[in-house]
Structure 1
């Protein structure tokens, strides 16, 4: 048995447990199991399949059930089934069958991964969409018959999504989801937050830890900006912005608005192999507003020494920032 088949069976097992009601020890075991990204992905797909199964007629469900009974006479799987009521058993059988239908109809049509280093990248996708990928960005793309999906693991991307009414375009940034049909918008994934800036069109955003569970759902239009917490899905900020200022990093510009020195220098360091060291938290939290090209690190450093009483020691590989004595 390969690992994916094993996880599918485990996902079905947990769906059945949820149907019956999880006991305290089972709940802890389930929460530990679903922490694994691949487990969560397959579990969510199986939950979707269960929703599909609800629409299957009794006659078709019986036919599926008869076919699956012939396929699942494996001792280990049957041992799991016998612990559940007849309702849970039917759930297992129908889900297992519907999953085969799912695999046949939602097979991956296109898949690619991108991980940039110091340089940004522009890429044309098979559906006619364009993506502008900033430096130090990591994402994965999968196209299916019924949807187009991007998983943004870190960094920021500007999307120009080609219209396709039959295939929604979904970006996942942790548990934050962005859905569109055709529009232009920027997604910024950081450790703690996800920000969406809309340049054109309409974008739907929401937090979803589990499938079909949508929290803090918003519809954003041109010049709307929203920032979510990656951990709880809370909305940290929502405001109107100048759409002409969105994703200026495409033009090698770093735009700072009451940005801390720590965050500002992290932006510059994305485009060069240099490490930044602050000698106190107070120095990290000094703020600055302005626009600089990504190549103007020296000008930026000279600017902040004129604003704040700080001392900068710079070498080829590192910058040390301390208070001026």
Structure 2
């Protein structure tokens, strides 16, 4: 068994918004169907609105499309502020899922802003520069008579280098490495989810809330996402997953975690290929965080030699036939 330990080492680069938009809420935007549609959001974009309740006309829905950017992993925040009494709440919206089937036309809360975060009252998601689309909602209370302003900020995430692995059978697992309710997902070099590589709870007959996902990977670059329950993109849970009821996003191109806990939250995991298992250490340090790792799947040296020999033999046969 190959056994090593590599630590979490994420870095963030703040992206300045050189061309951003200011948007203003208009009533009645009280549902997904009636949401205000705003496009081209980027770092520095703002949404100004007013809400004095958490029901009916107090529900301010927005369908947001972000500006495209260079391919990469981006951490995005929408932070609520006001010049008056604080008390607004932001949520990222999604769809329900039943038995692994996404329920179209539904409205589910994916993530709720919190007063215990720093700064308070922000929502956070990760994207890939693909011009992601999402539903965002703001509500208020009787005392929140002053306008709110939701301001977008963006940081670029540098994934942890997890090393190189051999193509073939893979298993990614947090089982036996943490007591946290984890979720894990895998993305390819184009930042598209790899089919079947998502795990909320380990497959039956297991009973833990840790994550195990297995399958076959071909040569290429992959990105591993590790987070706490509930993590969501726009895909349903695979049939192998024991959990089949978590809410999902309406659209692709982004992923988020709803977890506000940071106390004793470790996300240690292992990656197993044909050569054995490599152990990794990961630690959650902020609310809504997702850990990102990058791995390369490359052919084994022996297989490259065999491939080269095969190509040489084929060329020799062709030369003999030509002669």
Q: Is TM > 0.5 for Structure 1 vs Structure 2?
A: no
Whichever structure has more helix as a proportion of its residues is 1
Whichever structure has more strand as a proportion of its residues is 2
Calculate the TM-score normalised by the size of structure 2: 0.30
Relative contact order, CA 8 A, sep 6+: which one is greater?
2
Calculate the TM-score normalised by the size of structure 1: 0.30
